[in-house]
Amino acid sequence: MYKSGYVYSDNFKLQYIVDGQGAPAIVVGSSLYYARTFSNSLRTKLRMAFIDHRGFATSNNCKDIKKYQLDILVDDIELLRKELGFEKFIMIGHSGHAFMALEYAKKYPTNVEYLVMMCVSPDYSDAGRHKAEQYLEESVCPERKAALALNLSRLPQEIEKVPDKAFITYCLLMGPKSWFNYNYDAKNLWEGVEVNMAMFDYVWGEVFRDIDITKNLDKLKVPVFLALGRYDYLVPPAYLWESVRGHFSDLTIRIFEQSGHAPHFEEPELFDQQLLEWLSKT
């Protein structure tokens, strides 16, 4: 059953797309982008709601970073949950959105039955980013590195062409860091997606850089599924999770061997199988 609509929060127009049948699940991020990346097969088991956060809100020109505090973004998820009529649900967050999903689960623990985090590191600090660069440097794939070097040389001029879409431009040109197939062109996934660069510069550049995910983690009692890609060079490497693993009451980690930054899209059958098996056993 498919439906879509909008919710207004403090003048931000947040779109949602609901598709599928089964256990309710909310995927935070861009409703358009994420609706394109999860499989149709998974929608036969889960009723998936893809929701915007303020950085992807339609016609958003707001540059006031006070409007993009993490706690406010979390409360927007709650507003959309109420609009959707979901009670206990599966909270899903990919990449930086995994932090939003985690913080929501901490703040509204009675609403979340399971938490799914994907392609994220517990540490987005400058030191963590250095480890990501080191991980790439130590990989033995000269073709991937050459493709990245070419894209990096194009990055400044491409951002200058469309500065208000710098986040999307960056994501597209970071393909060699993001995809198992480092030549994959993700342009179609981003079609029609709007971004607010003030939000992304602040949240990704400062909030996530300084976040301490262990804060209030004792409040998180729900099972957590963490999906990581072996060829994900966009975020700090998987081994950093060992330093915080003991803070989780129930954490399951799965590493997908032929994926980069999006195992749900790159290995959909295996991802769906692993996720659904975990849900059924937990």
pLDDT tens digits, one per residue of 109-151: 999 999 999 999 998 999 999 999 999 999 999 999 999 999 9
Share of the chain above pLDDT 70, in %: 100
Phi, psi dihedral angles at 166 (to 5 degrees): -60, -35
Which is the catalytic residue, given 53, 94, 97, 261? 261
Of the candidates 95, 121, 178, 259, the residue annotated as catalytic is: 95
- The DSSP string of 135-147 is HHHTS--HHHHHH
What span, in angstroms and rounded, lies between the C-alpha atoms of 226 and 115? 9
Strand partners, 89: 112
Distance (Å, whole) CA 246 – CA 269: 30
Does residue 282 surpass a pLDDT of 90?
Answer: no
Active site residue 71: no
CATH superfamily label, 3-128+185-281: Alpha/Beta hydrolase fold, catalytic domain (3.40.50.1820)
pTM value? 0.97
How far CA 244 is from CA of 71, 111, 208, 214, in Å, comes to: 22, 24, 16, 7
Residue ranges covered by each domain of the chain? 3-128+185-281
pLDDT of 82 higher than 90: yes
> Mean pLDDT across the chain, nearest whole number?
97
Residue 272 annotated in active site: no
Question: Which of the residues 232, 259, 264, 272 is marked catalytic?
Answer: 232
- Report whether pLDDT(186) > 90: yes
Residue 280 annotated as catalytic:
no
pLDDT at 240 over 90: yes
Q: In angstroms, rounded to a whole number, what is the distance separating the alpha carbons of residues 20 and 245?
A: 33
